[in-house]
Amino acid sequence: MPVRLAALAAWIVGCAMAWPAVAADPAPPALTLDDAFVRVARAHPDLRLFGAQTDLLLAERDQASLKPALRAGLDIENVLGTGATRGFDQAEVTLTLAGVLERGGKLDARRALAQSRIDALSVQREAQRLDLLAETARRYLAVAAAQAQADIGRLDMEQRRRTVAAARHRLQAGASPESVVLTAEAALARAEMSVDRATQQEHAARQHLAALWGERDPAFLLAAADPLLTPAVPELEELAAWLERTPELAGFVGEQRIREARLQLARSAATPDLDWQLGIRRLQESDDTALVGSLSMPLGGTRRAQPEIRAAEAELASLGLERESRDVSLYSTLVQAHGRYRVAQQEVRRTAQDVLPRLARAERAAQRAYGAGAISYLEWAQLQSEHTAMQRQQLDAALEAQSALIEIQRLTGQPFVAGAGASGQGTSP
């Protein structure tokens, strides 16, 4: 019997070795901020909508380029009357061709208005693109923030586990009551809850990010990056110079062309058009034919066009004030974002250089002192909590800096910002 069992075991092992190995699931792809930008630019409907809008404006331009249509007509006179005009015996038939002779440059004005709307669309698309990619960077940053919070929580868990182990050791030695162990275990449980919360936040933030390109079940992981990195940015004066070329202000150039074209179209309406008509008339009585024609023009066109002209002039005059107001608003936002970044950047650096190293040394010294019975559990636990709280405060400052950088990039459109998780060089929407 043992021989048979050994043979059976050998056969099972041989079959297991001969059975093809199941391929492991490939690791999910690492998503950089640049990758997220590409996905949004390719798939987001707000950007793809500009293609349909371009087609619409091109069709409107083609329609605006059409001249007034010719009209063919047929007039019949002296029919179905009484006496000599009874029936169709005295009928006179006139075949006409009529049209409108546009004056005042109306055709060119319509073309200019349609073309200016097409030209302005590209600036609108660029502004929309920057807004969308800034939102992408914010959502990407939210995923990176949740991951960093989870990492801090895991470090805190490790600290709490050491505390629990030390408290149990002292309890076994009779140097510490059981309440200390229970308190340390409760602190460990709170640290575990913090990690679970950050993990759930990361999952929700990843879904929120993937929704920008229509992905319902995201499987990507963020590329490794340091969320505490705060790159250098130019001074406020240089940023303000870039602000002058932002799409939000460049759009006023296109809007000015549109309003100038509307004004020209309104002025062209002051010149009346000529309605003309030519035809051939057959005279029933003499069986002869003759040419007929007419020319008409509406009166009072200049007076009727004045309200529309004044409205167009007012719109054009107000554009300068609108641009000035928008310039002040954008500059104020830029100043605020730049100041937020400088403050947060300084806090991140000082915390990393002066605060966290000292707290880390103090925590290690407290661990040794607690093991030797020189300090109480509360003193050690307080140092651990202070260390973890300072790490979270540093992360909050770094995220504030990253958020301010995203806003600066959205305003200036410059590629010097390296968002959290970006691939090395500065990333631009």
Could you report the per-residue pLDDT of 6-17, keeping only the tens digit for each? 443 343 334 333
User: How far is Cα 117 from Cα 124, in angstroms, rounded to an integer?
Assistant: 10
CB 247 within 8 Å of CB 127: yes
Q: What is the pLDDT of residue 9?
A: 37
Q: 210 by DSSP, 3-state: which?
A: helix
Query: What is the CB neighbour count within 10 angstroms for residue 171?
Result: 15
Mean pLDDT along residues 208-229: 87
pLDDT surpassing 70 at residue 22: no
Radius of gyration of the chain (CA): 39
**Which residues make Cβ contacts (< 8 Å) with residue 330, sequence separation at least 6?**
243, 246, 248, 249, 411
Q: What is the pLDDT of residue 304?
A: 87
Mean pLDDT score of the chain? 83
Structure tokens at 248: 């939000």
pLDDT tens by residue, 86-111: 667 777 888 998 888 888 888 888 88
Q: Using 50, 70 and 90 to split pLDDT, how confident is the model at 193?
A: very high
60 vs 19, more confident: 60
Q: 235 by DSSP, 3-state: which?
A: coil
Q: Using 50, 70 and 90 to split pLDDT, how confident is the model at 429?
A: very low
Q: What is the pLDDT of residue 416?
A: 53
In angstroms, what CA-CA distances link 318 with 42, 123, 184, 261? 37, 20, 68, 15
Which DSSP state fits 352? I
pLDDT tens by residue, 145-184: 999 999 999 999 998 998 899 888 888 887 778 888 899 8
Of the candidates 183, 151, 228, the residue with the CA atom closest to the CA atom of residue 399: 228
Of the candidates 418, 9, 414, 373, the residue with the CA atom closest to the CA atom of residue 180: 373
User: How far is Cα 420 from Cα 32, in angstroms, rounded to an integer?
Assistant: 9
Of 128-132, 140-144, 176-180, 313-317, which gets the smallest average pLDDT? 176-180
Which DSSP state fits 271? S
Which DSSP state fits 355? I
Q: Using 50, 70 and 90 to split pLDDT, how confident is the model at 66?
A: confident
pLDDT surpassing 80 at residue 271: yes
Q: What is the pLDDT of residue 426?
A: 39
pLDDT tens by residue, 279-308: 888 777 777 788 888 888 888 888 888 888
Mean pLDDT along residues 349-371: 91
User: How far is Cα 422 from Cα 406, in angstroms, rounded to an integer?
Assistant: 12
Q: What is the pLDDT of residue 27?
A: 60
Mean pLDDT along residues 215-240: 86
User: How far is Cα 234 from Cα 338, in angstroms, rounded to an integer?
Assistant: 10
According to DSSP, the residues that pair with 275 across neighbouring strands are 100, 296
Give 210: exposed, middle or buried? Use CB within 10 Å, 0-12, 13-18, 19+: buried
